[in-house]
Every structure is written in structure tokens, then in C-alpha cells.
Amino acid sequence: MEFLKLANRRYATKVYSSQKVVSAETMEELKEILRLSPSSINSQPWHFTFVTNPQVKEDLAAHSYMNGDSIKKVSVLVVFSVTKDIEKFEQENIDVLPASWKDFYVTMVKAHGDGAVRSWMENQVYLSLGYFLSACMALGLDATPMEGIDRHAYADILPLDGQDVLFAVAVGYADPSDAFHPDNMAKSRFAATRIITHI
């Protein structure tokens, strides 16, 4: 199906089918897709944790506000994290880059302080979110990006080394009875005239 048609069909799923699960093969494909995510100067300041273990999903669901029920039912929950230690990130991810890319980091990002570095790193992880949601759509999977999670509780539950949790994405197959399903609810977006300028 062409991209625009898929974009009209994809939606932030609220109710998942607990019958239909993501196959092991598709899960491996999703991991490889995430590994191939683009990032500024190929900095890759991220870690992706795939959670399928029912007990761990249950534990995370208890710290996921309105998303708890979806997480319990869905096949896979992918937790997106950003590297915590800037010094370590610079040694392992930046120092290995070509000199001109390193220069970009030093002059355009690092020169503005740790806050700017941190926000730039998080931007890269959010970019992988957009890319991942489109990939799920192309693979015929339903997905829900979730900022409505307790990041600190997640970090305590998951075996994350030197990473800060940012958000999660539930991936599975929607239950067609979901009130938010595109067959049940029209897509709501601002008009193109409001948000797009073509000069």
C-alpha cells in the first residue's frame, strides 16, 4: 500500500488483541530496523529494550498510568532510552567519528553546554521513534508511542546500564473494537493551510 494510504490508517492504538502476537521473525526485523535508525552525525545515543516477558510487562504496566491495560495485552513493549553519561558518550560514540563530524558536535552542540548536549541526544532518540512508527505501519503492525510512563520506575525494573528511559512503544495488532480505530473514529489534524507554507 502506498505511504499516504497507510498514514491515514495508522493510529495510536488503545486496545490490542491478546490473541494475535508479533512473530519472532517480525520482532527480529524490528530490532534490525531500529539498529538502522538515522541520527545526527551517526551519533546513536540510544538503547532499545524489547519486553515480551509477561511478568515484566505486568510490572511496567503498573507504572504506566492510562497505558497500563494496553501494555498488559500487547505483544511487545519497546522501551527507548538515551545514554546518560555524556563523557562516556563522547568517548564511545563521538571520538570514533571522522574529524569533520566531531567538529560539528564540538562547535554546534557541545559549545552550548550539557543541557544542549542532552537535549540534542534526546532529539536523536525521538527521531528513531518517528522512523520506528512508520516501519511498524509498513509491516502491517499497530503501535502506540507512550510518554505516559513513569521513567524512573521503568529504569528500576529494567536491566539498563547507563541509560535514562524516555518513552515506550507498544507493538502488536489492534482489536477492531477499539474506539480509536480509523474505522470507528475519523483522523483529527489541523488543515494544511494552517501548518504548511509553500513559497
Ligand X SMILES: Cc1cc2nc3c(=O)[nH]c(=O)nc-3n(C[C@H](O)[C@H](O)[C@H](O)COP(=O)(O)O)c2cc1C
Give the number of residues in contact with ligand X, rule: CB under 6 A. 11
Half-sphere exposure of 177 (CA within 13 A, CB side): 3
- Cβ partners under 8 Å of residue 177, min gap 6: 15
Give 95: exposed, middle or buried? Use CB within 10 Å, 0-12, 13-18, 19+: exposed
Nearest-approach distance from CB 111 to ligand X, in angstroms: 28
Cα 85 to Cα 121: distance, rounded to the nearest angstrom? 11
CB of 148 or CB of 176, closer to ligand X: 148
55 or 188: CB nearest ligand X: 188
Smallest distance, ligand X to C-beta of residue 154, A: 13
Nearer to ligand X by Cβ, of 137 and 158: the residue is: 137
- Residue 146 and residue 166: Cα distance in Å, rounded? 9
Strand partners for 171: 76, 143
Q: Which amino acid is at 151?
A: R
Site string for ligand X, 55-84 (x = CB under 6 A): ------------x-----------------
Quick check: 11 binds ligand X (CB under 6 A)? yes
Nearer to ligand X, 94 or 136 (CB): 136
13-52 binders of ligand X (CB under 6 A): 14
- For helices 114-138 and 24-35, give the axis angle rounded to 10 degrees: 140
| Residue with the shortest CB distance to ligand X | 148
Distances (CA, A) of 98 to 3, 43, 95, 116: 35, 11, 8, 22
Closest approach of ligand X to the CB of residue 86, in Å: 23
Q: Give residues 129-188 in contact with ligand X (rule: CB under 6 A).
A: 144-148, 167, 187
Q: Give the interface with ligand X as residue ranges (CB under 6 A).
A: 11-12, 14, 67, 144-148, 167, 187
